[in-house]
Amino acid sequence: MGMTEYALTDGKGINLIPKELPAEAILSVIALPGITSYHGLFEVLKPEAGQTIAITAAAGSVGSLVGQMAKNLGLTVVGVAGSEEKCQWLKDELGFDHALNYKDADFAEQLTQATPKGIDLFFENTGGAAQTPIFERMNAHGRIAVCGLIAEYQKEVPDLGSSWLNIIKKRLTIQGFTMPDHFHRIPEYGQVLGGMLMKGELKYRAHVIQGLESAPSGLNLLFDGKNKGKLIVEL
């Protein structure tokens, strides 16, 4: 319904949510971040226990849920984030196997060490510095879900990105997706995510800013990486 204090609706597209859950949990886990992470992981990447997955913007609202679900399935999870605090949170609180800072000069070497068996699945949220090193570590028949490219959103001319040669050499499957195509599945995804949340399988953190007037400048937190978790405007 956009950023608004009031909205008029005929009820179409409105979903009932469980009363027991706090609003922050619903916005952080069951709303867009949850359905995006669930769809991207299960419908696009189709994970199997024992595989290795790399996730960019891993400490963000989407990436942090992808990593936890992958970990619960028995994958080796490598998260990529832009600060030591975020990397620490991923390892200590969320149980990621590795969390690497893409701003480190030796990021590519750290990635090689963290992925001795290569990378089978890549959940891409950012583009930018981490993309090519991850692309280079992909295993044959690997799958890449392109969910977001936040490093590109403010550029007039997008980066060229990684060489397509690897797509042939490694027989990669790369698939972009956007959630509006899949909004009809919200009731189904919401049920599963609500269940995981109630069982304590998904942790989240919400970054709440106050008042509609804080929204335009608050949006920039996503671009400078200062948001810690789901960015929410409280009215």
Ligand X SMILES: NC(=O)c1ccc[n+]([C@@H]2O[C@H](COP(=O)([O-])OP(=O)(O)OC[C@H]3O[C@@H](n4cnc5c(N)ncnc54)[C@H](OP(=O)(O)O)[C@@H]3O)[C@@H](O)[C@H]2O)c1
Instruction: Point out which residues bind ligand X (CB under 6 A).
Output: 32-33, 36, 57, 59-63, 81-83, 86, 125-126, 128, 147-148, 150-151, 177-179, 222-223, 225, 227
Radius of gyration of the chain, Cα coordinates, nearest whole angstrom = 18
Closer to ligand X by Cβ: residue 115 or 125: 125
Answer whether 54's CB lies under 8 Å from 122's CB: yes
We find the least distance from the C-beta atom of residue 156 to ligand X, in angstroms, to be 15
Question: Closest separation between CB of residue 115 and ligand X, Å?
Answer: 19
In 3D space, the residue among 139, 124, 142 whose CA is nearest the CA of residue 47 turns out to be 142
Considering the complex, state which of residue 119 and residue 147 has its C-beta at the smaller distance from ligand X: 147
Nearer Cβ to ligand X (72/83): 83
Which of these, 17, 206, 53, 43, lies nearest to 142 by C-alpha position?
53
Task: Answer yes or no: are the C-beta atoms of 51 and 122 closer than 8 Å.
Answer: no
Kindly write down the DSSP assignment for every residue of 25-86, as one continuous string. HIIIIISHHHHHHHIIIIIII---TT-EEEESSTTSHHHHHHHHHHHHTT-EEEEEESSHHH
From the CB of 32, what's the least distance to ligand X, in Å?
Answer: 5
Q: Is the dihedral of CA 215, 217, 218, 223 positive or negative?
A: positive
Nearest approach, Cβ of 168 to ligand X (angstroms)?
A: 26
CB of 154 to ligand X, least distance (A): 8
C-beta closer to ligand X: residue 46 or 169: 46
* Cβ-contact 98, 79 below 8 angstroms: yes
Residue nearest to ligand X (CB): 60
Name the residue nearer to ligand X (CB basis): 174 or 179: 179
Least separation in angstroms between CB 140 and ligand X: 26
Identify the CA nearest to 129 among candidates 114, 107, 158: 107
- Rounded Cα distance between 38 and 45, Å, is 10
To ligand X, the closest distance from the beta carbon of 178 in angstroms equals: 4
The DSSP symbol for 150 reads G
Nearer to ligand X, 50 or 223 (CB): 223
Of 170 and 192, CB closest to ligand X: 192
